[in-house]
């Protein structure tokens, strides 16, 4: 029966992508084009005027072109969520979907770009060469450890926001969940112990942002497929070595005992109910493996009724979904023409997402999810993805952080939050 349902869903997904105009995005003009005079302004000879102005001052490309509202979604398809290394061509539907989310949630235009290379040097060179087109670059689904080098080099060599969302988007949303879990339980950031199962790109980014948030580095234990990432191991790459623990653990089951937080960015079934029962009181469990988490939501709550449980699934409470972050982080960064996306901007996003969940939920959000009520608590820890208030809550926080840290080229627009609200009405 389930196989029949899966086949039906697969066919519906194929029909969705192929019927009518194939794919999920298109390009539409934003200026009049009905008359000969319109076309003379849009192209020859009128287009020469903005070209001359931009040649004189490249910053004017933000004034005379779509650059200020344009993000590139770029991937080589080497680490597509749930599918692995499927290549650039097969990654395109995912990148088109990401572009659609940018437009839907933050009114940011986006081109998806699939780069057919696994060589970091070639990838970086390609992105650098096309960067003048864009106001920001969202890297996506690039495997570790290459993704770290690629992002670092592009951030160092370009003066527009660059973010690998698989790393930092996950870090921002898990940080928001952590903030609110501690708000509920009364625990302190500098007193909790965190166990992370998985030591790839997302795991390292999450741990780095947790430390920036105030978690003590020595209270974090990473585990990979070989067990605890420990200073006693000699098989660690530099990224894992950065967070190698001195604590006397060798296995996940040892490390999880009395831990306050479990973050899973690994594989289905990695966390057992027996392990959950050994955790500290009021544990936070973020089991984010997709589509099947490290432990099922119901199984975790049954094992520990006092647990706060998050997964990556939309059919369970507390979905950790990167769409809560990336559209609004880029929106805020582009609107002050930020040169980069720094930790302060990411922390501002996490804190504003957490704060929004603690406010009354509008009727339109309840209607979108067919819910009679939602109230901040163990089953509503972070906002729902369709909460439009994220745009005028998170983006101003990110923009303000960019201004305060000196990476913005221009000040926060006057009445910015109100303008964003009106933009999406």
Among all residues, which ones are annotated catalytic? Answer: 43, 98
- 291, 311, 331 — which closes off a domain? 311
pTM over 0.75: yes
Residue 322 — pLDDT band, cuts 50, 70, 90?
very high
Strand partners, 197: 223, 264
**Quick check: is 343 in a domain?**
no
Cα-based angle 139, 31, 17 (whole degrees, multiple of 5): 45
* CB-based contact 107:423 (threshold 8 Å): yes
Count of domains forming the chain:
2
**Quick check: is 414 in a domain?**
no
Assess whether 240 and 123 both reside in one domain.
no
Assess whether 193 and 142 both reside in one domain.
no
**Quick check: is 355 in a domain?**
no
Q: What is the extent of the structural domain holding 47?
A: 23-160
- 160, 186, 207 — which closes off a domain? 160
pLDDT of residue 34: 96
Residue 1 — pLDDT band, cuts 50, 70, 90?
low
The share of the chain scoring above pLDDT 70, in percent, equals 99
**Quick check: is 42 in a domain?**
yes
Assess whether 122 and 187 both reside in one domain.
no
Q: What is the CATH number of the domain that holds 100?
A: 3.40.50.10380
Assess whether 122 and 63 both reside in one domain.
yes
Q: Report how far residue 157's alpha carbon sits from residue 406's, in angstroms, rounded to the nearest whole number.
A: 18
pLDDT in tens, 30-85: 999 999 999 999 999 999 999 999 999 999 999 999 999 999 999 999 999 878 99
**Quick check: is 418 in a domain?**
no
Assess whether 48 and 117 both reside in one domain.
yes
Assess whether 153 and 180 both reside in one domain.
no
Q: Is residue 71 left, alpha or beta, with left meaning phi > 0 and alpha meaning psi from -120 to 50?
A: beta
**Quick check: is 35 in a domain?**
yes
Burial class of residue 245, CB neighbours in 10 A (0-12, 13-18, 19+): buried
Assess whether 136 and 55 both reside in one domain.
yes
Q: What is the CATH number of the domain that holds 276?
A: 3.40.50.720
- 311, 343, 377 — which closes off a domain? 311
Average pLDDT, the chain: 96
**Quick check: is 340 in a domain?**
no
Strand partners, 245: 230
8: pLDDT strictly greater than 90: no
pLDDT of residue 9: 86
Assess whether 155 and 35 both reside in one domain.
yes
Q: Report how far residue 323's alpha carbon sits from residue 306's, in angstroms, rounded to the nearest whole number.
A: 28
Assess whether 114 and 90 both reside in one domain.
yes
Assess whether 274 and 147 both reside in one domain.
no
Question: What does DSSP assign to residue 336?
Answer: T
Assess whether 27 and 97 both reside in one domain.
yes
Assess whether 187 and 84 both reside in one domain.
no
pLDDT in tens, 352-404: 999 999 999 999 999 999 999 999 999 999 999 999 999 999 999 999 999 99
Secondary structure class of 7 (helix, strand, coil): helix
pLDDT in tens, 203-254: 999 999 999 999 999 999 999 999 999 999 999 998 899 999 999 999 999 9
pLDDT in tens, 157-201: 999 999 999 999 999 999 999 999 999 999 999 999 999 999 988
**Quick check: is 295 in a domain?**
yes
């Amino acid at each position: 029966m389930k196989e029949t349902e899966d086949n039906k869903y697969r066919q519906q997904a194929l029909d969705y992508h192929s019927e009518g105009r194939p794919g999920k995005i298109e390009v539409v003009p934003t200026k009049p084009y009905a008359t000969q005079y319109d076309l003379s302004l849009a192209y020859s000879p009128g287009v020469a005027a903005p070209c001359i102005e931009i040649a004189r001052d490249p910053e004017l490309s933000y004034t005379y072109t779509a650059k200020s509202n344009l993000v590139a979604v770029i991937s080589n398809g080497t680490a597509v969520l749930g599918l692995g290394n499927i290549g650039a061509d097969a990654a395109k539907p995912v990148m088109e979907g990401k572009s659609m989310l940018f437009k839907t949630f933050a009114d940011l235009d986006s081109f998806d770009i699939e780069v057919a290379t696994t060589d970091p040097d070639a990838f970086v060179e390609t992105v650098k060469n096309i960067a003048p087109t864009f106001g920001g670059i969202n890297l996506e689904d690039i495997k570790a450890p290459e993704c770290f080098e690629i992002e670092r080099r592009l951030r160092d060599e370009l003066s527009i926001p660059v973010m690998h969302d698989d790393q930092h988007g996950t870090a921002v949303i898990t940080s928001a969940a952590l903030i609110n879990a501690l708000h509920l339980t009364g625990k302190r950031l500098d007193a909790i112990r965190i166990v992370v199962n998985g030591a790839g790109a997302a795991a390292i980014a999450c741990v780095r942002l947790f430390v920036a948030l105030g978690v003590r580095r020595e209270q974090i234990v990473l585990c990979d497929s070989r067990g605890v990432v420990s200073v006693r191991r000699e098989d660690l790459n530099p990224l894992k070595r950065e967070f190698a623990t001195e604590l006397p653990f060798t296995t996940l089951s040892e490390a999880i005992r009395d831990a306050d937080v479990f973050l899973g960015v690994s594989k289905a079934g990695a966390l057992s109910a027996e392990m959950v029962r050994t955790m500290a009181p009021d544990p936070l469990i973020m089991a984010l493996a997709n589509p099947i988490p490290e432990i099922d939501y119901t199984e975790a709550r049954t094992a520990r009724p006092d647990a706060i449980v998050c997964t990556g699934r939309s059919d369970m409470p507390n979905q950790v979904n990167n769409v809560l972050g990336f559209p609004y982080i880029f929106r805020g960064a582009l609107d002050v023409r930020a040169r980069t996306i720094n930790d302060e901007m990411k922390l501002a996003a996490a804190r504003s997402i957490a704060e929004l969940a603690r406010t009354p939920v509008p009727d339109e959000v309840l209607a979108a999810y067919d819910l009679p009520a939602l109230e901040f608590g163990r089953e509503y820890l972070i906002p729902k993805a369709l909460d439009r208030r994220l745009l005028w809550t998170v983006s101003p926080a990110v923009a303000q952080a960019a201004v305060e840290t000196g990476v913005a080229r221009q000040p926060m627009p006057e009445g910015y939050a109100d303008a964003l609200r009106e933009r999406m009405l």
